[in-house]
Amino acid sequence: MTQKERCMLIVERFRQTMPVAETELHYNNPYQLLVAVILSAQCTDKRVNMITPGLFEAYPDAASLAAAEDIDVYNLIRSVSYPNNKTKSLIGMARNLCRDFGGEVPSTMDELLTLPGVGRKTANVILSVVFGQAAMAVDTHVFRVSERLGLTTRSKNVESTERKLMQLLPREVVATAHHWLILHGRYVCKARKPLCDNCKLTDLCRYYKKNVSHSGATGMSGTL
């Protein structure tokens, strides 16, 4: 089976088993999603969703966040990972939005990457979720699941995984596939103990064939 054939079978299986796939971050507009994605780096969506209501009440738009004091933002986000760095990123991002983009979230990769706290993964989330572009954000879940399923092979970094997935996936499903892979990695194909008993992709999964099926064990540890 070629990688392209495997990819199309996996896409069809996800369509059947996960017809609705979307971000679990709570937001009402592009500014809020950008803030939430910056906060979510190395932090759970659940934790971010606990923090953002108070943050958005205090700073409902880029202009108000741009004028915020570091200590005030820090106190609102202190329970996330790396609150000091994220405080500086959020305020810097808001100031750049106001200075360069009239307070509106831009719609191109190059523009998004000029914002503090925004790397390629964050930019791809915004392009995909907000603007409906065929953009593949690769986080640890996407990186791991793509490798285990056999969509990628020995990727050295997230950018190589992104390029490979963009080659394999039909453009019209890229945005949804990002969520399929994240949610599958978050709830089924977990890093340490993948829940192979609960997986609907085992017949297509390279990791399962190599590490689980022959031993007869499920839920075994893995480090990919």
Active site residues: 121, 139
> Rounded distance, CA 186 to CA 55, Å?
26
> Rounded distance, CA 126 to CA 221, Å?
33
Amino acid making up residue 196:
C
Q: Which residues contact 182 (CB under 8 A, 6 or more apart)?
A: 139, 141, 142
Token duo for residue 197: 């008993």
- Three-class secondary structure assignment of the chain: CCHHHHHHHHHHHHHHHCCCCCCCCCCCCHHHHHHHHHHHCCCCHHHHHHHHHHHHHHCCCHHHHHCCCHHHHHHHHCCCCCHHHHHHHHHHHHHHHHHHHCCCCCCCHHHHCCCCCCCHHHHHHHHHHCCCCCCCCCCHHHHHHHHHHCCCCCCCCHHHHHHHHHHHCCHHHHHHHHHHHHHHHHHCCCCCCCCHHHCCCHHHCHHHHHHCCCCCCCCCCCCC
